[in-house]
Structure 1
Amino acid sequence: MVKSFQGVRIAESDTRASQPILVEDHMTTHLITFHPNDTIDYVIQLLTQKKISGAPVLDDQQNLVGIISEVDCLKEIIRGKYNNTPRMAGRVSEHMTKEVITMEPEVTIFDAAHQFLELKIRRFPVVKNGKLLGQISLSDIIRAMPRLKSATW
């Protein structure tokens, strides 16, 4: 007869439920934002200083009205070179992307990753009931993956 001396075993709880895999758990919430009337000079200065590649554009009522990126700023740089004007006095409203694709905070990061691949863009503003809550970037998704346990896949 073999006796077991392991004692009572406690069943492991399912950790998947406590494992955050939603966009809202991995998005950036302290955002640099711009106003449509900001100059491209100012945008370039801040993007360079903060080492970011783009940011949401909010109107006076804090509504999301666009996204401005390094690529958008490049348009003004090219225009300045063409017109031989060293200052980039163009406004954000002239160069921003106005038709912004957003994401809701309840989307899983796996669905978000699929959207990044499908649409080939680098960031999604996260919006709920018309209000900007944060932003999820491709980098945020990549940083989230190592923290997830294999059980959540």
Structure 2
Amino acid sequence: MGIKSFQGPMKQRESKDMVSLKVSDYMTKKLITFKPEQSVEEVIVQLIKYRISGGPVVNDNYELVGMISEGDCIKHISESKYHNLPGETRTVGQHMISNVETIDGNMDIFDAANKFLQAKRRRFPIVENGVLVGQISQMDILKATIELKSQSW
């Protein structure tokens, strides 16, 4: 005789129970930002102090002009030591990545997770009307999934 498992009828979820999580719900709004005229050494100090791996570079109007990361800083150190150059003269504007991909704050968190996988990035800035309003990281995506799990997948 075989074993039968009966769980009863499956409860259908109503559409109002379905939670749609947006990037804007989990993005970091209080950001550590950098200026293009800052020295790379200042950035290194802040990366270590705040335990972050990079951040957005903005102008005086808080418009996104680039991103700088640990890797950009390491590249600067390597180049300056290799060419025996003084490190203090190099600025963020010379080492940042200026072609920055952004995402929409209204994007679904799962679409954002997929974008992280495709782009192989650690963070994406969120810009509205040309102004930086936040940033979402891979860690923010993980936090969102933990909350979702508590609400039931």
TM norm structure 2: 0.84
1:56 alignment counterpart:
56
**Runs of 5+ in structure 1 lacking a partner?**
1-11
User: Which amino acid letter does the alignment assign opposite residue 100 of structure 1?
Assistant: V
Q: For residue 92 of structure 1, what is the aligned residue in structure 2?
A: 92
Query: 1:148 aligns to what SS in structure 2?
Result: helix
Aligned-pair Cα RMSD in Å: 1.9
Letter in 2 for 1:43: V
Does residue 38 in structure 1 map to residue 38 in structure 2? yes
- Distance in 2 separating the partners of 1:150 and 1:83: 54
Identity of aligned residues (%): 46
- The residue matched to 1:36 in structure 2 has which SS? coil
- Alpha-carbon shift at residue 107 of structure 1 (Å): 0.2
Q: CA deviation at 1:120?
A: 0.3
Paired residue total: 140
Counterpart CA distance in 2 for 1:125 and 1:151 is: 27
Where do 1:62-81 residues align within 5 Å?
62-81=62-81
Aligned CA distance change for structure 1 residues 103 and 152 (closer, same or farther; 3 Å)? farther
Give, in angstroms, the shift of residue 87 of structure 1.
Answer: 3.6
1:80–1:88 Cα contact (<8 Å) kept: no
Structure 1: distance between partners of 2:78 and 2:88 = 10
Q: Deviations 1:23-62 (Å, cap 9, x if unpaired)?
A: 0000000000000000000000000000000010001221
Unpaired runs of 5+ in structure 2?
1-12
State the shift of 1:151 in Å.
Answer: 7.1
Query: C-alpha displacement at 1:89, in angstroms?
Result: 3.0
Of the three residues 14, 17, 36, the one matched with 1:15 is 17
Which runs of 4 or more aligned residues in structure 1 lie more than 2 Å from their structure 2 counterparts after TM superposition?
A: 12-15, 83-89, 149-153
8 A contact 1:76–1:88 mirrored in 2: no
2:54 and 2:73 map into 1 onto residues whose CA distance is: 9
Kindly provide the amino acid, as one letter, of the partner of residue 53 in structure 2.
Answer: S
> In 2, distance between residues paired with 1:105 and 1:132?
11
